[in-house]
Amino acid sequence: MTAKISYDDVEVGTELPAQTFSVTRATLVQYAGASGDFNPIHWNEKFAKEVGLPDVIAHGMFTMAEAIRVVTDWTGDPGAVVDYGVRFTKPVVVPNDDQGASIEVSGKVAAKLDDNTVRVDLVATSAGQKVLGMSRAVVRLA
């Protein structure tokens, strides 16, 4: 499968559709089961607070995965992602209520590269704080 977006139709500054992803404690338990990461900071409020966290926090890899969805939804092809990296700047704190937390993600084409690839810079925030820094993906377009 090839990305549905054409390299020739994309300019530096092109904004990707922003998305908001919700995460609840149930989401974290499901992710722990899928990933095998059962660290208690992701499900045990008492333990998370004992180690100095404000509450249970989302898995970093979960947050990273939610952010790249903005890119894969834009391209229409997860296989179009050639490279992806982030720095974790703040945790996504997930309260024990019906609403949980939200991760807001936006992206913009920052550079056109060789071989029909572009660099997309992502911004991910939760509760008004940036949760990922240096969040960049290289994507091969049609």
Q: Where are the alpha helices (DSSP H) in the chain?
A: 25-35, 45-50, 60-75
CA gap 130, 98 in Å, rounded = 23
Look at domain 7-140 and name its CATH class: alpha beta
Model pTM above 0.85: yes
* Element of type H or E holding 8: none
Encoded tokens for 24: 């609840």
Q: pLDDT tens across 81-135, in order? A: 999 999 999 999 999 998 999 999 999 999 999 999 999 999 999 999 999 999 9
